[in-house]
Amino acid sequence: MAFNTLYLTKAQYIEEKRRVAIEFSNSKAKRAKSFSFFSSFLLGKKVPLKELSKILCNYNPQKFKLKEKPYAFQVIASTFKDLKCLANLCLEAFGQRPFIVEPERQFLIERDWNYFDAFQFFHDKPVKSNAISFPDIKTEFSSDPLPLTFKHLLEHDATQATAFVKAMALSRILKIPIDSLPDNSFLEIETILENMFFKNGFPTEAHEFRIIQSIEKKYPISPGAVEMDFSELWPILITQPFYNLGVDSIDCDCCKPGTVFDRNILPNSSVNGIFLAEAVYFESIVKSYAEQFHTSQPLKENRDKLTREFCLNYTPVGPFRRGQEAELLLCDALQLCTNDKVKIMNESKLHWFCLKKESFISKELRRMNNSIVSLSERLLTIEKEALQEHMLFAQGKLSNDLDFVFNKAFIQALKLSYKGLPLHLTNQRSSFFQRRLAHSVETIQALTLHRFKTLVKENNGKLIRAEQASALVKTDQPMSLAKEFSKREKIPLVIAPAKKTCLGTH
């Protein structure tokens, strides 16, 4: 980086001046610049505009502005203190507490700036560089420049050095100071969604949740089995040009399908079907649907008995008699139609995705993926060049290339968020959980794994179990299966063996 490069190291909201002060610095210089800024929150349109305006005017009409956005009302306040008071009024009047992003992060979101971004000044204006470089700055905990401090740390405590560079990468991704980072992956992705929703003008309510300690699942050891990792596939499938899922694209007004075979139909649609055979049981493609049916319908003992006798992963749906009509998931109904067990009568409740406008979740995921791909290609080129020039000493040289180290940590952190985001949308503890979107994501995942299971059987393999992120299979040719599945489904080749088992835990 050029000697006149400065890094964004600090952001501070100054309430009395209604400004945000940004500190740009490197190891030799600091430069502060303040910007006029008024913070805001978004409120859903369940509340009528006139009623909302009337309630807020009880505070002080001179201290806020109310704007109507496509998907929300935006309340802009004179100060952050005023904003919190206005949010409390909304809670008292409508039972909705708008989620409030801290003013410094709001400012960074609006500017598309991040901590540790590199800048150069032209005519007193900061211009951001797109390159990601290790920040040549001084910190409060050391008198030496950060690159020198980090190299010393790397020599004496590689684990701590790795944790520190990961924290810097996360700070950049989340737009949060390094000393205020969330302490778990759930909150990390929650923060990314906060940024996404705020940036794109979509409201969310403040939500009290508690982090539940995940219980490690234990499974019988399965010698010779291979765990196939599907986690990179889900963010691809829920984006264009595949399913284009999002709160702003599901069941749009412009693209309602005419039949259950239209391209934009979602598999979690419901249809009415009539059964053509006697005493029909079937394994639903979607586990949650089967569980709901089992708990709410009679003849549980029959289903439990079948589950034990045939060693099923979960209870079947049924029994249904010949001529009985029932509401079924579309993906199940189509499967039963191929076996001449059901005839679809008409739709019950269709769900679809928009063909005309890309959802903002799709846009953001594709942007994340583009960053991962371009940075990964760049690092791969650097690794190849280092190997050609330094041969056996290449790794040692790269470990001392701090730009390389920082970019690698950034890619790893971004990948984890990218892969975790679709699963997070199905988590009921999230502030961003919406049942319709979550059910669409879960059903697409289940249908994809069901198709993979069919391919495994065709190739004389066995699918031992399938979960949201992975499938455990017995096969001699895992990569051949992945390639064939990719070709059949017309999807990128991103499914790959995670590790060989004996898997005792997962």
Give mean pLDDT, residues 464-489.
Answer: 91
What percent of the chain lies above the pLDDT cut of 90?
79
Same domain assignment for residues 340 and 310: yes
- The answer to whether 59 and 53 have CB atoms below 8 angstroms apart is no
Q: Within a domain: residue 486?
A: yes
Does 1 or 487 have the greater pLDDT score? 487
The domain tally of the chain equals 3
Q: Within a domain: residue 52?
A: no
Same domain assignment for residues 297 and 376: no
Same domain assignment for residues 132 and 234: no
Band (pLDDT 50/70/90 cuts) for residue 506 is very low
No. of helices (H) and no. of strands (E), the chain: 15, 19
Same domain assignment for residues 380 and 417: yes
Tell me how far apart the alpha carbons of residues 94 and 82 are, in angstroms, rounded to a whole number.
Answer: 18
Q: Within a domain: residue 440?
A: yes
Q: In which domain, by residue range, is 240 found?
A: 225-244+357-500
Query: What pLDDT is stored for residue 17 in this prediction?
Result: 97
User: What digits encode the pLDDT tens for the residues 176-198?
Assistant: 999 999 999 999 999 999 999 99
- The answer to whether 373 and 381 have CB atoms below 8 angstroms apart is no
Query: What pLDDT is stored for residue 417 in this prediction?
Result: 96
How crowded is residue 340: how many other Cβ atoms within 10 Å of its Cβ?
Answer: 9
Note the Cα 315 to chain centre separation in Å.
30
Question: Which DSSP state fits 16?
Answer: G
Give mean pLDDT, residues 121-138.
Answer: 93
Q: Within a domain: residue 493?
A: yes
342 pairs with which residues across the strands?
A: 275
Same domain assignment for residues 362 and 329: no
43 pairs with which residues across the strands?
A: 73
Question: Which DSSP state fits 218?
Answer: B
Q: Would the pLDDT of 2 be above 80?
A: no
Same domain assignment for residues 362 and 236: yes
What is residue 499's three-state secondary structure?
strand
Q: Within a domain: residue 258?
A: no
Give mean pLDDT, residues 5-21.
Answer: 97
Query: What pLDDT is stored for residue 221 in this prediction?
Result: 53
Q: Within a domain: residue 485?
A: yes
Same domain assignment for residues 414 and 483: yes
Same domain assignment for residues 381 and 339: no
Tell me how far apart the alpha carbons of residues 192 and 184 are, in angstroms, rounded to a whole number.
Answer: 13
CA angle 477, 481, 484 (to 5 degrees): 140
Tell me how far apart the alpha carbons of residues 239 and 102 are, in angstroms, rounded to a whole number.
Answer: 29
321 pairs with which residues across the strands?
A: none
Give the chain's mean pLDDT.
91
Same domain assignment for residues 121 and 17: yes
pTM: 0.91
Handedness of CA 463, 443, 216, 312 (dihedral sign): negative
Query: What pLDDT is stored for residue 499 in this prediction?
Result: 55
**Last residue within a domain, chosen from 315, 349, 383:** 349
**Last residue within a domain, chosen from 318, 349, 380:** 349
Give mean pLDDT, residues 67-72.
Answer: 92
Q: Would the pLDDT of 53 be above 70?
A: yes
User: What digits encode the pLDDT tens for the residues 317-359?
Assistant: 999 999 999 999 999 999 999 999 999 998 789 999 999 999 9
Same domain assignment for residues 113 and 172: yes
User: What digits encode the pLDDT tens for the residues 137-181?
Assistant: 998 777 789 999 999 998 899 999 999 999 999 999 999 999 999
User: What digits encode the pLDDT tens for the residues 335-344?
Assistant: 999 999 999 9
Q: Within a domain: residue 54?
A: no
Q: Within a domain: residue 505?
A: no
Does 361 or 475 have the greater pLDDT score? 361
Q: Would the pLDDT of 242 be above 80?
A: yes
User: What digits encode the pLDDT tens for the residues 363-387?
Assistant: 999 999 999 999 999 999 999 999 9
User: What digits encode the pLDDT tens for the residues 427-455?
Assistant: 999 999 999 999 999 999 999 999 999 99
**Last residue within a domain, chosen from 145, 163, 181:** 181
Same domain assignment for residues 154 and 122: yes
Same domain assignment for residues 398 and 449: yes
